[in-house]
Structure formats: C-alpha cells, structure tokens
Amino acid sequence: QLRLVESGGGLVQPGGSLRLSCTASGVTLDDYALGWFRQTPGKGRDVVSSISMSGLSTHYADSVKGRFTISRDSAKKTLYLQMDNLKYEDTAMYYCAASDDRIGALILPELYPYWGQGTQVTVSS
C-alpha cells in the first residue's frame, strides 16, 4: 500500500519561497501520476499542479503559473513543488496525491486514490 508523507510547509512572507516534498514509503512512484492540491477551510480541494507518470506532461492552475514548479525524483521516491513569489492567497493546506490507474497530468481530485496527510502553508507578513 502506497503511503505519502508531505513536508516543507510553514510560515513565509509574501514574495518568499517554499519547497514542498512528498515522499513515498514502500513503493516507487514511477508507476503513478502525481499531483498537488490545496484546500482552505470550507472549500474543496483544488488542483495546484500535476505531473504525468512519465514526467513529460504537467499542468498548473492559472493562479500559480510562472511561480510554482512541479517535479519528481524517481530515485528519491519524492514529488516536489517549488513555490516562488508566494502570495497571501496561496495560504492553504497542501496535499500530494497519486494515481496508479491513469497516466496523464490529472486535475480532478476524485481520480487520485492515494493522499498524504497535508502540510500547511501560510503566507503572512
């Protein structure tokens, strides 16, 4: 059973940067399409970015294009989200997710069977 653990969240000032990590335990991530989602209180989970199983296809929400970069490292079994020029509206709980029955850069949360526990990102001055 795949288990995902996120890290790297925290408090950062506007304009600052954070790098989120999502590490898998027990299995390789090579056979999974992966994604980052975020959620604020009272709202559903929205895709931030996703990456295909091959790593060749990526998707970014319009609100983060040009500021966030998704990447995956097979050897380290880790998914990353580099977040630069952070804004107040990026404040949320961030979750990583994995799907082993589709290969594309998936944007719907219901397509991901596996989820981490989340890491909080707070952008505040």
Residues forming beta bridges with residue 36, ordered by sequence position: 49, 96
Does residue 5 carry a pLDDT above 90?
A: yes
Here the tokens at position 86 are: 């952070």
Give the tens place of pLDDT for each residue, 22-67. Answer: 999 978 899 999 999 999 999 999 999 999 999 999 999 999 999 9
Does residue 104 carry a pLDDT above 90?
A: no
Once rounded to an integer, what is the mean pLDDT over residues 13-29? 94
Closest CA to 32 of 53, 49, 47, 50: 53
